[in-house]
Structures are given as C-alpha cells and as structure tokens.
Amino acid sequence: MNRSNAIISGLLGVVIILVAYSIILNPPQKTPTIEDISKTTKIVIGDQTSQDLTLTEIFEKTESGVVKINVKRPNDKRGNGLGSGFVYDKEGHIITNDHVIENAEKITVTFLDGRSFNANLVGKDLYTDLAVIKVNASEDALYPLTLGNSSKLKVGEQIAAIGNPFGLSGSMTSGIVSQIGRLLPSQDRGFQIPDIVQTDAAINPGNSGGPLLNMRGEVVGINTAIQSETGDFAGVGFAIPSRTVQKIIPTLIEKNTYHHPWVGISGRDIDPDLAEILKIKDTRGFLIINVLKDSPAEKAGLRGTTNSTTIDGITYQIGGDIVLAVDGITVRKIDDILIHLQRDKTVGDEMALQILRDGRVTSLVLTLEERPNASVLANNSTTNSTQK
C-alpha cells in the first residue's frame, strides 16, 4: 500500500468512528405510527388513504354506538326531554350535549337493540355544551365510536348524522359541511361557542348530542343546534367539532368540570364604517370597548373605549385598543381570538397580543385566567359586543 492509499484508509476509518459515535449519542428517532399515536390519545386516527364508505356501510358501522337519551325534569318548566348520544369507551361513558341533560333528575339511555340503562352524570361543560354520562352496562352492549379529526374537514365534504329526531330512534341523514369555524351564540348564557361545524344534514329536535360522521364513519362533531325561525330544520345545522371533544371530554371524566381560559374584554369587529371613523386602512381587528375589572386584560394594561361619536344617527365607541394579532395569528374578527383560545390555550398560559393604540402598533403579554361563571359575564355584557 502506498502512502496516499494509507492516508485515505486512515481518514475513512476516522470518519466511520465519528459516524458510529454520533449514532450512539444521537440515535435516529423512530417515526411515530398510527398505533403509537393511538396509545397516547383517545382520538383514533383513521386511515386517510382508505376509500370512503357508503352511507349504508357508515350506518351499519356506527348504529350500535348511538343511543337515545330520555331525561326526566319534574321541577323544570320544559318538562321531560329527549336527545341523543354516543358511546365513548368500554367503561360506559357516553357523550351528549349539556343542554340535553340539564336539570335532569333521572337520565335513561336506550341502545338501538332496545336495552335501557339508568345513567349517572359524570361531568358537564356549559361553555362548549358538552356532557358525559355513564351507564353500568356489560361490554357487549358498548360499541365506542371512533373520534376523527375535525381539523381535516373541508367545506363541501360529505357527512352524515345519526340520532333520534322527534324520538325516531336510529335515524340517519346526510349532507355536506357547509362551513367551519363558526361562532354559535348561546341561548341566554352570555357567551358564544367557537369553532363550530356548519352542515346542511337535516338536524331536528332529538338529534342533539348525536354524532356527525365523516365518510369513514368517524365522529367529527356532535350535533347541537339549528338555525331556524320556526324550530324546524331549515338547512342550517351546527355541530361541536371532535377537536373540542378530544380536549374537553377527558378532563370532564377525570375532574367532572373544565376550566376555560379567559381574557376579560368585550367589543366589536372592525367594519368599513368604523374603519373610516377610526381613520385606519384595513377592515380587520377587534376593537376593545370594555375591559372587565380584575380580568387578565386589565392586569395586562389593555384599554377600552374612552369616547363616542354619532354619525347618521348611529353612535360609535372609539378610543380603545384594537387587537390585530394573538400569538402571531392575524385577527380578522373576534372569531379568530375565540377559536385560538378554544383550540390552543389553557388557564395559566401566556398570550402575546399585537394591538393598535393611538395610531401605533405595540405588543403586550397577558396571562390567561379561568373564565368566571355566566352570571358575571352577563352582568358585564354590552350591546353588540362579544365577550371572551
């Protein structure tokens, strides 16, 4: 072997040793599989490459996991109630809407095969209209449905709903996702539920709490309300997304309640008229009108409106901070703030805000606290404003 070959061989040996040493210190990371993910989360991720099922196949796959819920309310002016739900796990937990079991003295769950069980309330969350009840049933009666990923939903995607409209057990309807990320105003509760899925699948009284399914038979929402002037379905239904279910339900099962993060402001979105009055170019952002006392917003130094002006008989509040972004996410309107809080934030988290104040863009950070009860929010509400 000549000298040059010896040198090359020596260098190769050094490289091999260094590579081996690097591998020992930094072993290659295993790419997580669907099975790995399923071990750490209750969401069972479906095979996105699999073919869609027919509506008949979806019904046959999920019908045994959908239940009818009867509620007895002897001291409630609404009287007895009827709704839907679906099996969450083999321990007997069933998911439904909070408004379905509200003020219930007795809850009865009936499976599609006719078997009925008394149920106990495990936990509920007023702010997302979710509730968990539990039945003491044998495992052969329990067919948990798979939670899908609602963040994958697209407008125009076909979906199906199963429930008990007007008490008609095991009824199925189908339609499309009409829109995503809607705000659902609560009824007399002083807040809105964010990140709602809108659908044109027929939803009627009795459907509340039942599953909204994608074409792989996975639960992507919980049917909860309709938009109607008459009380009957008019082509616009709303469902709480499975992403919210996955965040809230495990805590309800463990702790019976869920603590939502809260900022403590109310105000209005920037529209063209208000933008012209405020002399700003972009019709985006959220104008803070009120900052609630002792709220995270007040502690962080956010400012509400200080003046008002009347144009063409309409009074506009002016002079408050305008929220332009939260944690780097552009705020077009209040929806963006509420959805970010619902999806990504918990009590105790910090949130960075970019605001427009006195014509200058500035930044501040606040620490999120637990949202007060509904009566506190209602007492602090203002006309045409949204609290968060």
Pairing type for strands 237-241 and 360-367 reads unpaired
Which stretches does DSSP call E strand in 200-245? 211-213, 219-226, 237-241
Selection from 318, 310, 309, 311 nearest residue 280 by Cα: 318
Cα 299 to Cα 315: distance, rounded to the nearest angstrom: 29
Measured distance CA(148)–CA(245) in Å, rounded? 10
Instruction: Return d(Cα 174, Cα 217) in angstroms, integer.
Output: 12
Task: Work out whether strand 369-370 and strand 130-135 pair parallel, antiparallel, or are unpaired.
Answer: unpaired
> Do 373 and 262 contact (CB within 8 A), yes or no?
no
Sign of CA dihedral 51, 176, 83, 102: positive
Asked whether the beta carbons of 148 and 214 are under 8 A apart, the reply is: yes
Active site residues: 99, 129, 208
Name the 3-class secondary structure at 214: coil
For the record, the structure tokens of 134 come out as: 């539990």
